[in-house]
């Protein structure tokens, strides 16, 4: 998919998020954990949100999770016009942290979106540098 075809906002990596986006481009979902207290966390940051240690490391997730919550958006953001109505979902990763995402592969209706349903990550190549994690039923 070329950038002309991908019309949604493309993330602009920061020093803290650059590794996350690099791994997304390789179609792998990596998050961080604290070396001191072992807590995994997301979004990327320099310090553990639990104990404030700066001893943090990256690890690859299973790419699996469950549907924790969602809302259905009927007024699409720029680039999402062809997909409305669509769910803005919160995915509970198998490793513990939650992240937001969209759910592909099924019509995003309350009947189809069952809380705790198993999901797996899929990546959409937005341009030559960036792939966006999304989710589909596992
Ligand atoms: Zn910690």
Q: How far is the CA of 34 from the centre of ligand 1 (A)?
A: 5
Taking only the tens place, the pLDDT of each residue in 7-48 is 899 999 999 999 999 999 999 999 999 999 999 999 999 999
Q: How far is the CA of 75 from the centre of ligand 1 (A)?
A: 39
Gap between the Cα atoms of 116 and 49, Å rounded: 25
Q: How far is the CA of 36 from the centre of ligand 1 (A)?
A: 5
For tokens 């513990």, what's the residue? Answer: 96
Gap between the Cα atoms of 55 and 66, Å rounded: 28
Q: How far is the CA of 29 from the centre of ligand 1 (A)?
A: 21
pTM comes to: 0.92
Does 28 reside within a domain? yes
Does 3 reside within a domain? no
For the chain, what is the largest distance between any 2 Cα atoms, rounded to a whole number of angstroms? 45
Does 75 reside within a domain? yes
135 touches 103 (CB < 8 A): yes
What is the tally of structural domains in the chain? 1
Question: Comparing C-alpha atoms, which of 52, 51, 35, 42 is closest to residue 16?
Answer: 42
Print the domain residue range for 89.
Answer: 18-137
Q: How far is the CA of 55 from the centre of ligand 1 (A)?
A: 8
Does 66 reside within a domain? yes
């Amino acid at each position: 998919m070329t950038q002309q075809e991908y019309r949604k906002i493309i993330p602009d990596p920061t020093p803290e998020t650059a590794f996350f986006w690099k791994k997304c481009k390789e179609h792998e979902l990596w998050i961080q954990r604290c070396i001191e207290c072992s807590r995994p966390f997301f979004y990327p940051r320099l310090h553990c949100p639990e104990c404030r240690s700066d001893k943090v490391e990256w690890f690859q997730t299973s790419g699996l999770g469950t549907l924790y919550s969602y809302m259905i958006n009927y007024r699409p953001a720029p680039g999402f016009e062809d997909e409305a109505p669509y769910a803005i979902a919160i995915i509970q990763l198998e490793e513990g942290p939650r992240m937001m995402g969209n759910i592909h592969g099924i019509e995003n209706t309350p009947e189809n979106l069952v809380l705790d349903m198993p999901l797996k990550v899929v990546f959409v190549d937005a341009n030559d540098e960036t792939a966006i994690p999304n989710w589909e039923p596992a």
